[in-house]
Amino acid sequence: MFAADRLALSDELLLSVEKPERYIGGEVNSVIKDIKAVDVRFAFCFPDVYEIGMSHIGIQILYGLFNSYPDVWCERVYSPWHDLDGVLRKNRIPLFTLESQDPVRDFDFLGFTLQYEMCYTNVLQVLDLSGIPLLSEDRTDDDPIVIGGGPCTYNPEPIADFFDLFYIGEGETQYRRLFDLYKAHREKGFQRSAFLRECARIPGIYVPSLYETEYHEDGMLAAMKPRFPDVPAVVHREIVTDLSHAYYPESPLVPFIKVTQDRVALEVMRGCIRGCRFCQAGQLYKPLREKSLEACKESALAMLRSTGHEEISLSSLSSSDYSHLPELLDFLIETAGREHVNVSLPSLRIDAFSLDVMSKIQDVKKSSLTFAPEAGSQRLRDVINKGLTEEDILRGAHEAFLGGWHKVKLYFMLGLPTETEEDIAGIGDIANKIAVEYFDTVPKEERGGQSVEITASTSFFVPKPFTPFQWAAMHTQEDFLNRAKMTKQGIMAQLNQKRIRYNWHNADESVMEGVFARGDRRLSAVILDAYRDGCMFDAWGEQFHFDRWMAAFEKNGLDPAFYYLRERSDDELFPWDFIDIGVTKAFLLREWKEALAGRKSANCRERCLGCGAARFGVGVCVR
Amino acid sequence: MFYDYRLKFSKNGPIRFVGHLDVMRYMQKANRRAGLPMCYSEGFSPHQILSLALPLSVGATSDGEYLDMRLTKEVLPDEIVNRLNEVMHEGIRAEACILLPEHAPKAMTLIAAARYRLTLRDAAFSGNPDGRISHNTDKERSLAAEDLAARLHTFLSQDRIAAVKTTKKGEQTIDLKPLIHEWEVAEDGALTAILHAGSRDHVKPALLYETFFRSIDRAFSPASLAVHRIDLYEEVPGENGVFRPLIEM
């Protein structure tokens, strides 16, 4: 396929913005089709800057899958950076896709992958620059159908007003049916409302405009009901049942510029056996489904050949739990040696096996070990059901230091349910113990002028829907920052404090993320006002304007505290309860109670906890 | 044992916006897709042993780019060209390839001159410094366009062309005239010229036009200059001022 020779922007305009490569398309393995030969044009958007969006595997999968349909042409669009945003507005140039460089508003579908809450204003930017009405209710038969997918759609309510459809679940299964329905409606004379109404019957498709909500006087959700009898009250999540035979791209896109994930990403499994109680992905993608070793090998070779990438990495929530990991790594290391490819490993559990593997593929002097204890004490790690113990960490660190490593990264969360000052003090303690372990393990004469370098990072805990902590309260910014200060003091009090660096996150952003994560429909108006007031790229620290957000809440008579500061009662109706992910609310509540009692739960391979995901009848549930 | 090759390639179409370092990355990936037996450096992040002759500015097209690359096995030069073209569809095309003799100097050290075709995009005729949209009337524009060829001709015919070059050390006035080896202005104002190139006394097309615009008292924006590089030259050994392409076709 040859690249389109026509660009939407003049050379002068392209040369006036930073990194024009972001907007020209034509990358290796991008797909060009004849528009006369296709019936459905799909613009796929990752609502963030190109380098981030191009690093996402989900788009690569669906891009390849959609383009494998002869009657569909899927193209890409990313958020224009501020400089181009200004150029497009000033010159009244409509936002365009990369492949054909055609205006997005001429497409049949505009799909957004929603990977984090802080991208919501960017969704509005893309709609706005495309010239598509921001609100679903204002769109006409000529506007594209705006559909959202990805983890944020498991509570789509805060952005319900902007979307015509949401796809709940893994995209591989129902898009074909959606396209066929669309074609049928186009043939018989398209009427937006009639099409959307029929979409509601496709499994996994949620049509927000077909539901109405009622609230109690205190602001809590009283009911959410379909407006018509043929619209389902519950939307069930879609999943791929056989990962080994599911579509996976053989020829992923290769960007010209360096992007965040500039390598072949080999998905080895979906789902996770570990029930960390803060983790949304752990519940959303249950049950664990592995890709066969053969499928992984074939896929790895095909992608390396078609892309020419010099690096491959494994993608999954917990690669250490992949049953065939030793064989797969042997194969990759052997291939890598022959083909001069780097193997980059995601965070594996640090043990003798992973250290041996890592020593073969990394420069131990430069690379660092990563541990994610998430909490500073064993008590709190039991509350969050994180299996890692202090003994595990110190044993792993000991072996790593023997192997030549001297850099250690530690990740923690602050503000977890039940957290006390002692738990926070534990963060400094464990960092110090690792330093002591280094000095005990590596004699002075073997340190080669180096010393242990420990970096402890904390993020603020944000409760997410469909986790046992969906009932939990979050804390105020002041409280969060106080916890970060205590952590810092705890580290400073350590004997080896000079070997420990400490980083923490911005509390304002965590609070906003918390509001959107568990928000309801009424927030659409707030997001719209914040966007109109100039909020965009909220995930980019320096671009985040907390004051404008607060003004938008005030204007709409809503209090952010209602959404994030409040612990929910056991029987509260949540805005996302209409979605059935497989895992039941009863199970999550049971886990919440276990957490508060400080009791751990088994993982899926040890014992079935009856979470509900067994209804899919696949993966670890049927072993 | 290794074999050094010199590849000539062209770069046209939208890929003109892909910068020098990214072209290097692109070529490395293309070499891998083509399955060429590339020579790699040692260490945990092995990279191919390649060097580009002369960077090309972002936005410029070219029919004469050169890349030196080291292979571990001997491959027929034509086969290298064919195998690369089978896996490159983005606007970069392999045009020719030669096997270099042992210890041959690198292309980047040989470069003596570059031939360009230089044209002004519409915005430049209006002298609009931000190079965006021309607000001028047709009359003004056509007048300027008509004038361009004649004015360029006068400018280039001078005995001395004083230009201000900004280097790391600061501003420096140099005479461009001896660094312009050949030039021809077409009726439409397009300039074809061989400019001195390489590590010493390198003349960027934008410097030439900046100086020209200053001489006619107009603002110049580099984005308004469309640069097309035709070929890169080395000096014929022993013949001062005689140039030949790095690969003669």
* Residue among B115, B110, B48, B37 nearest B71 (CA): B37
Tell which of A5, A11, A338 to mutate to test the B interface (max B CBs under 10 Å): A11
pLDDT over threshold 50, residue B130: no
pLDDT band at B146 (very low <50, low <70, confident <90, very high): low
- In the chain, the amino acid numbered A529 is D
- Which residues of chain A neighbour B22 with C-beta distances below 8 Å? 21, 256-258
- Residue A218 class from Cβ within 10 Å (0-12 exposed, 13-18 middle, 19+ buried)? exposed
Cβ pair A11:B59 closer than 8 A: yes
| CA distance to partner chain B, nearest, from residue A22 (Å) | 10
Average pLDDT over residues A34-48: 97
Reported as a single tens digit per residue, the pLDDT across A62-98 is 999 999 999 999 999 999 999 999 999 999 999 999 9
Nearest chain A Cα to B128, which residue?
Answer: A12
pLDDT over threshold 90, residue A9: yes
pLDDT band at B137 (very low <50, low <70, confident <90, very high): very low
- Which residues of chain B neighbour A11 with C-beta distances below 8 Å? 59, 121, 223, 226
| CA distance to partner chain B, nearest, from residue A30 (Å) | 10
- Residue A480 class from Cβ within 10 Å (0-12 exposed, 13-18 middle, 19+ buried)? buried
| CA distance to partner chain A, nearest, from residue B247 (Å) | 27
pLDDT over threshold 50, residue A1: no
Least confident range from A142-146, A360-364, A460-464, A562-566: namely: A360-364
End-to-end CA distance of chain B: 28
| CA distance to partner chain B, nearest, from residue A446 (Å) | 22
* Residues of B within an 8 Å Cβ radius of A: 13-15, 17-19, 22, 25-26, 28-33, 38, 40, 43-47, 58-59, 87, 89-91, 121, 123, 130-133, 221-224, 226
Are B41 and B47 a contacting pair, CB within 8 Å? Answer: yes
What angle, rounded to 10 degrees, do the helices at A477-492 and A507-517 form? 130
Higher pLDDT, B46 or A286: A286
The beta strand positions in B86-169, using DSSP E, are 92-99, 111-120, 162-167
pLDDT over threshold 60, residue A460: yes
Cα gap A610→A200, rounded to integer Å: 29
pLDDT over 90, % of chain B: 73
* Residue among A182, A62, A177 nearest A112 (CA): A62
pLDDT at residue B3 in the model? 97
Structure token digits, residue A594:
């276990």
Beta strands A211-215; A221-226: pairing state = antiparallel
- Which residues of chain A neighbour B46 with C-beta distances below 8 Å? 310, 340, 342
Average pLDDT over residues A131-157: 98
Run of H or E residues at B226: strand B225-235
Nearest chain A Cα to B88, which residue?
Answer: A28
Q: What is the mean pLDDT of chain B?
A: 89
Contact partners, residue A178, CB within 8 Å, separation at least 6: A167, A199, A202, A205
Average pLDDT over residues A25-35: 97
Cα gap A296→A317, rounded to integer Å: 16
Average pLDDT over residues A521-548: 94
Cβ pair B59:A363 closer than 8 A: no
Sheet holding A311-315, edge to edge: A264-267, A311-315, A342-344
Least confident range from A157-166, A175-184, B142-151: namely: B142-151
pLDDT over threshold 70, residue A211: yes
* Residues of A within an 8 Å Cβ radius of B: 1-5, 7, 10-16, 20-21, 24-28, 91, 254, 256-258, 304-310, 339-340, 342, 361-363
pLDDT at residue B124 in the model? 52
pLDDT over threshold 80, residue A158: yes
Strand partners, A74: A42
Q: What is the mean pLDDT of chain A?
A: 95
Average pLDDT over residues A421-426: 97
Average pLDDT over residues A548-564: 97
Reported as a single tens digit per residue, the pLDDT across A233-279 is 999 999 999 999 999 999 999 999 999 888 999 999 999 999 999 99
Cα gap A584→A563, rounded to integer Å: 22
Reported as a single tens digit per residue, the pLDDT across A101-128 is 999 999 999 999 999 999 999 999 999 9
Average pLDDT over residues B181-189: 93
Least confident range from A337-351, A467-481, B37-51, B234-248: namely: A337-351
Cβ pair B40:A258 closer than 8 A: no
Reported as a single tens digit per residue, the pLDDT across A584-604 is 999 999 999 999 999 999 999
End-to-end CA distance of chain A: 44
Cα gap A46→A55, rounded to integer Å: 10
- Highest mean predicted confidence (pLDDT) among A255-259, A364-368, B196-200: A255-259
Other C-beta atoms within 10 Å of A31: how many?
Answer: 17
| CA distance to partner chain A, nearest, from residue B154 (Å) | 27
Cα gap A235→A174, rounded to integer Å: 13
Run of H or E residues at A307: helix A293-307
* Residue among A101, A94, A10, A84 nearest B124 (CA): A10
Nearest chain B Cα to A358, which residue?
Answer: B44
pLDDT at residue B241 in the model? 82
**A547-579 in b/e burial notation, b at 16+ Cβ within 10 A?**
ebbeebbeebebebebbbbbebeeeeebbbebb
* Residue among B172, B220, B227 nearest B205 (CA): B227
Cβ pair B132:A16 closer than 8 A: yes
Cα gap A442→A300, rounded to integer Å: 38
Cβ pair A5:B13 closer than 8 A: yes
Positive or negative, the CA dihedral A212, A217, A219, A223 is negative
Cβ pair B45:A342 closer than 8 A: yes
pLDDT band at B135 (very low <50, low <70, confident <90, very high): very low
CA dist list (Å): A576 to A149, A213, A444: 15, 12, 57
pTM of the model: 0.95
pLDDT over threshold 90, residue A35: yes
DSSP B173-205: EEE-GGGEEEEEE-TTS-EEEEEE-SSSS---H
Q: Quick one: three-class SS letters along B20-80?
A: HHHHHHHHHHHHHHCCCCECECCCCCCCECEEECCCCCCCCEEEEEEEEEEECCCCCHHHH
Distance of alpha carbon A530 from its chain centroid, rounded? 23
pLDDT over threshold 80, residue A415: yes
| CA distance to partner chain A, nearest, from residue B243 (Å) | 32
* Residue among B80, B79, B77, B67 nearest B27 (CA): B67
* Residue among A112, A123, A177, A199 nearest A151 (CA): A112
Cβ pair B223:A11 closer than 8 A: yes
pLDDT at residue B129 in the model? 42
pLDDT over threshold 50, residue B133: no
Cβ pair A11:B28 closer than 8 A: no
Reported as a single tens digit per residue, the pLDDT across B61-106 is 999 999 999 999 999 999 999 999 999 999 999 999 999 999 999 9
pLDDT over threshold 70, residue B132: no
- Which residues of chain A neighbour B44 with C-beta distances below 8 Å? 342, 361-363
Cα gap B160→B139, rounded to integer Å: 33
Cα gap A462→A473, rounded to integer Å: 9
Are A467 and A278 a contacting pair, CB within 8 Å? Answer: yes
CA dist list (Å): A230 to A165, A210, A581: 16, 10, 21
pLDDT over threshold 60, residue A205: yes
* Residue among A413, A432, A429 nearest A472 (CA): A413
Average pLDDT over residues A461-489: 97
- Which residues of chain B neighbour A2 with C-beta distances below 8 Å? 89
Tell which of B25, B27, B228 to mutate to test the A interface (max A CBs under 10 Å): B25
Tell which of B11, B18, B119 to mutate to test the A interface (max A CBs under 10 Å): B18
Structure token digits, residue A318:
């917990």
Cβ pair B15:A13 closer than 8 A: no
Average pLDDT over residues A201-228: 97
Structure token digits, residue A264:
């072949």
pLDDT band at B140 (very low <50, low <70, confident <90, very high): very low
Strand partners, B234: B111, B244
Domains of chain B: 3-104 (3.30.70.580), 111-245 (no CATH)
> Which of A7, A12, A342 has the CB atom closest to B14's CB atom?
A7
Domains of chain A: 11-236 (3.40.50.2300)
| CA distance to partner chain A, nearest, from residue B124 (Å) | 10
Tell which of B11, B12, B17, B220 to mutate to test the A interface (max A CBs under 10 Å): B17
pLDDT at residue B217 in the model? 86
| CA distance to partner chain A, nearest, from residue B163 (Å) | 24
Cβ pair A5:B14 closer than 8 A: yes
pLDDT over 70, % of chain A: 99
| CA distance to partner chain A, nearest, from residue B42 (Å) | 10
Cα gap B229→B60, rounded to integer Å: 7
| CA distance to partner chain A, nearest, from residue B230 (Å) | 19
pLDDT at residue B167 in the model? 78
pLDDT over threshold 60, residue B138: no
* Residue among B70, B33, B64, B31 nearest B50 (CA): B70
pLDDT at residue B145 in the model? 63
Cβ pair A12:B131 closer than 8 A: yes
Average pLDDT over residues A24-29: 97
Structure token digits, residue A319:
């690669």
pLDDT at residue B169 in the model? 81
CA torsion, points A185, A188, A190, A195, in degrees to nearest 10? -30
Cα gap A201→A398, rounded to integer Å: 56
